[in-house]
Amino acid sequence: MKKRNITELQILSEIVRKQPHIKQKEIADALGITVQGVSEHIRNLLKKGYIKSRGRGKYVLTDKGIRVLKNWISQFRDYLEEVNREIYRYKDIWPAIAYEDIEEGDRVYLFMRRGLLYASKTVKTSSTAEVVEGGREGEDIAITNIEGIIEMKRGKVIVVKVPPRVNGGSKNVNYCLVREVLDKNRDAVVASMGTVSYVVCEKLGVIPEIRFAVLEGIVKACDRGCDIICLVTGRMTERVVKVLDSNKIKYTVLDATRGSY
């Protein structure tokens, strides 16, 4: 659609909205063009027979003008729909966490850590993006134009079995073993299943990130690339292992009962 046609469409629309009492200056103010420009378009619309004048700035659309306006509206709607489709071809804005201080316009590398997307100028990976809004280390930033594949290995699970209450509960736990596992896997997400397991976490000063819907949470976290340390009370271990097997998640089981390791 030509620019002139768009302006005439707007003028016809203004006349429809406010006819028959509308001045050329009102149209000019509404459209952000000069009065002289409106006057030229009005003369052209009169010549084409799209509008007619009733004198003293009174204009109304003719039947021909109404048909043309409806046709233009249909064309303009199709044009806007096409533009809207094109917009969605652009990649969206995505959030990421700044691995170090990052500025707008930087080209960064992307990687997953603990199930979250990180952006870095120094940690090189096969995926890159452009920074729309930067930030300091640890802050959320905005990225776009992602290229390449963001590498993400499926997480694995260390199942730490703690004794149930009937076998001594938290008083019969090998805390050195549990602490060693936690220290060696600092990036792992901690899950707690069962009351005794939660008490063990409390005694170690650890806040489990997964406490409810634990089995589902473990699977989803592994799918997002998180390694898991799951403290499980007694025979609940069998349920955890069954779910891990059915979802083909790699795991190791350690018995944290005092004297068993």
Give CATH for domain 157-255: 3.40.1010.10
- The position carrying tokens 């009102």 is 26
Q: By the 8 A CB rule, do 200 and 231 touch? A: yes
SS3 238: helix
Helices 24-31 and 35-48 sit at what angle, rounded to 10 degrees? 110
Give CA–CA dist 139/220, Å, rounded: 24
Give CA–CA dist 114/173, Å, rounded: 27
The predicted pLDDT at position 150 comes to: 85
Give CA–CA dist 163/260, Å, rounded: 11
Give, for all 261 residues of the chain, the pLDDT tens digit: 555 578 888 888 888 887 767 778 888 888 888 888 888 988 889 899 998 887 776 788 889 988 988 888 888 887 787 776 665 555 578 899 999 999 999 999 999 888 889 999 999 999 999 999 999 999 999 999 888 888 888 899 999 999 999 999 999 999 999 999 999 999 999 999 999 999 999 999 999 999 999 999 999 999 888 999 999 998 999 999 999 999 999 999 999 998 765
Domain boundaries defined on the chain: 3-87, 94-147, 157-255
The predicted pLDDT at position 31 comes to: 86
Give CA–CA dist 75/90, Å, rounded: 24
Smallest CA-to-CA distance from 157 within 226, 66, 67 is with 226
Q: How many residues does the chain have?
A: 261
Q: Which whole-number Å values give the CA distances from 88 to 27, 91, 95, 127, 145, in the listed order?
A: 34, 7, 18, 21, 13
| 135 bridge partner residues | 102
Phi, psi of 193 (to 5 degrees): -130, 110
SS3 124: coil
Assign domain 3-87 to a CATH class: mainly alpha
Q: Which whole-number Å values give the CA distances from 48 to 14, 60, 186, 192, in the listed order?
A: 18, 14, 77, 79
